[in-house]
Structure 1
Amino acid sequence: MSRVTILVYKGFQVLDATGPAAAFEIAGHFGAPYSIRLASLEGGRVASSSGIAVETVPLAEALQCELLLIPGADNPLRAARQKELLTAIADAARSGRRVASVCSGAFILAAAGLLEGRRAATHWAAVEALKRLHPRTVVDAESIFVEDRGVWTSAGVVAGIDLALALIGRDHGDELARKVAQKMVVYHRRPGTQPQHSALLDMVTPDNRFAPLLAWARARLSEPLSVERLAKEAALSVRQFTRAFTQATGVAPAKAIERLRVEAARAAIEAGADSLEEVARRTGFGNGDRMRRAFVRITGQPPLVARTGARREPGMRG
């Protein structure tokens, strides 16, 4: 029985705590039981940011665990000022327990001194603040989760489930983590190195006139997506479309489609797709050589690096 203590505090984000808890609970259904306890500094009812309150045991009663997990909050700095809380977290790490955070929970781990000199992830919107407040932390602005010498950190909300799946995979193997992901109806094998941002989100803001067009294109990457076809879908002449699109997104239409194809191909490769040629066909590259050249242009690395990186992720065996 692996014991997991989720340490909550006033104003914590519910899904940061309950998402990983559900993953560990479901692992038990497949023969890998985890004992899950919600704890707070003093115990009792603790209200989340949504107003939903949970019952907790005092932290002193729950420190005998294999994993101590800290959820995030809209304002984690309040909790990060509680010296007793920080001391307990630091002591847990020193005693060899794994310590993890979801989203802005990284600020609490940093305040406890656990991220000094370590690589860490947090929500993309909190990256600059974490760098500013804790300059000795190596903040990874891209990855959805990171493990550095027994301390695990993850990006926003749902990335906490990815982190939990990686921990389950580390403890009990990738096949069990896959079953848990299937039961939860979530994406399996989303590697920690997968970027928090998509090319689509980076290129346009939600109110950009071409956001619907790019969403339309992303759903049709296996089809020919010439500038002429894109212009027709946008109800503009090719010349008008090319000029307006480039001005709005900062990239030419063909380059935008190439970025979307690389993003889709990378996700498929990291998810364990068997054949690079098949990935190339499904994402519109036509063949593996064309896909390789696009990967090198966009990412600076060939597709095989994405596959190798996914296989080396903590808990991701294969």
Structure 2
Amino acid sequence: MPRPPRHILFLLCDRMNLLDITGPLEVLSQPNRIHPDAPPYHISVASLKGGLITTSAGVRLDTTAISEISLDEVDTLILPGGGAGYVPFASQAMVDWISMHAPQIRRICSTCTGAFTLAATGLLSGRRATTHWLAGEALLKLDATIRLEENALFVQDGKFWTAAGVSSGIDLALALLEADLGHQAAMQVAQRLVVFLKRPGGQSQFSTPLRIQTLDGRLADLHGWMAANLQADLSVPSLARRAGMSPRSFARHYSEKVGLSPAKAVAAMRLEAASQALAASPQPIKTIAALCGFGDEQALRRAFMRQFGVAPQAYRERFTRILA
């Protein structure tokens, strides 16, 4: 006898981020389209009162009143993020409803600032969790006992799953799907959606190259050049000459503005470029090592073992970008 569909409940309210809703919804609805005769999920999109809710993008979505949902059958609750300024946005009525019904729900998830809703219930107290990188400090003001993992794309602690900013809800949904239906099912959905098969919860949600390129204009051009010339000499004397400064002044100025030494910033940029190349390019690892400034494959291997705990080939196998 086939297993009955797992009931996935999205609980919405006004001002929620559209992609926080539609990203996970698209992932979890795909298996139903692949297997229409035996859909593995029953998906409900609800709000406290039902009817139309208005997302942060202005798009309105029709919802079912939560009173019409059979809660005994709900397997997974998903709470998208939203609001303005990365602050709590859910009503007290919504928080109370979650607190009341959480014990009977097998799995409870949030995306982005949906973690604020969970934190308001007290359900994250003492637990590992994550949220959007801009919202971590505010989340801890709600509950200082939360063990915040600021760099994680998603975190699982028991029945509670929390995802970071916006698009990481897709990563979370793929992880839920893999836990429910297995690796092959998750791979098939990733292929249909043309996304990474799997980015682990431990992968940083905000890259070093992206962060440092948002800094002051004097360094922005230098960072752009560095990113395009990772195989070049990126030592302090070389970078200082390009910046028109003495090595000592450059190293001090750079560390003050970036928060990293030039050497650490270069290492982070090279490592990220190599990570992306391994996931998206069929080039030999030796070639990627040279293009990204590691010099040889052994240097690349040492960097990956130190940062990720896996060799470049294992990383490539896990993070292969599957194209339709």
Q: How does 1:79-118 map to 2 (within 5 A)?
A: 79-82=90-93, 85-118=94-127
| Structure-1 separation of matches of 2:200 and 2:279 | 7
CA apart distance, 1:154: 0.7
- In structure 1, stretches of 5+ residues that fail to align are 312-318
- In structure 2, stretches of 5+ residues that fail to align are 319-324
- Percent identity between the aligned chains? 37
Counterpart position of 2:24? 20
- Residue type of the partner of 1:175? Q
Deviations 1:231-286 (A, max 9, x none): 78x5x55x558844751435554442222122344566789x99976764453313
Contact 1:46/1:53 (CA < 8 Å) preserved in 2?
yes
For the residue of structure 2 that corresponds to 1:67, the secondary structure is strand
Q: How does 1:183-262 map to 2 (within 5 A)?
A: 183-221=192-230, 223-227=231-235, 243-244=249-250, 247-248=253-254, 249-251=258-260, 253-262=262-271
| Structure-2 separation of matches of 1:205 and 1:2 | 43
Counterpart position of 2:128? 119
| Structure-2 separation of matches of 1:129 and 1:243 | 36
For the residue of structure 2 that corresponds to 1:117, the secondary structure is coil
Q: Which of 287, 290, 293 is the equivalent residue of 2:296?
A: 287
| Structure-1 separation of matches of 2:196 and 2:29 | 18
For the residue of structure 1 that corresponds to 2:7, the secondary structure is strand
For the residue of structure 2 that corresponds to 1:153, the secondary structure is strand
Contact 1:203/1:250 (CA < 8 Å) preserved in 2?
no
Q: How does 1:25-44 map to 2 (within 5 A)?
A: 25-31=29-35, 33-44=40-51
| Structure-1 separation of matches of 2:202 and 2:283 | 20
- Residue type of the partner of 2:92? R
Deviations 1:58-82 (A, max 9, x none): 1122333221100111256341422
| Structure-2 separation of matches of 1:263 and 1:45 | 42
Q: Which of 9, 12, 20 is the equivalent residue of 1:8?
A: 12
Counterpart position of 2:141? 132
CA apart distance, 1:230: 5.7
CA apart distance, 1:10: 1.5
For the residue of structure 1 that corresponds to 2:171, the secondary structure is helix
| Structure-1 separation of matches of 2:175 and 2:199 | 9
Contact 1:121/1:155 (CA < 8 Å) preserved in 2?
yes
Deviations 1:148-204 (A, max 9, x none): 101110111101111001111111122222222232222221111111221113434
Query: TM-score normalised to the size of structure 1?
Result: 0.80
Counterpart position of 2:59? 52
- Residue type of the partner of 1:38? V
Q: Supply the RMSD in Å over aligned alpha carbons.
A: 3.4
Deviations 1:97-131 (A, max 9, x none): 21100111101111122111211110111101111
- Residue type of the partner of 1:224? A
| Structure-2 separation of matches of 1:225 and 1:120 | 40
For the residue of structure 2 that corresponds to 1:247, the secondary structure is helix
For the residue of structure 1 that corresponds to 2:137, the secondary structure is helix
Residues 128/47 of structure 1: CA separation in 2 closer, same or farther (3 Å cut): same
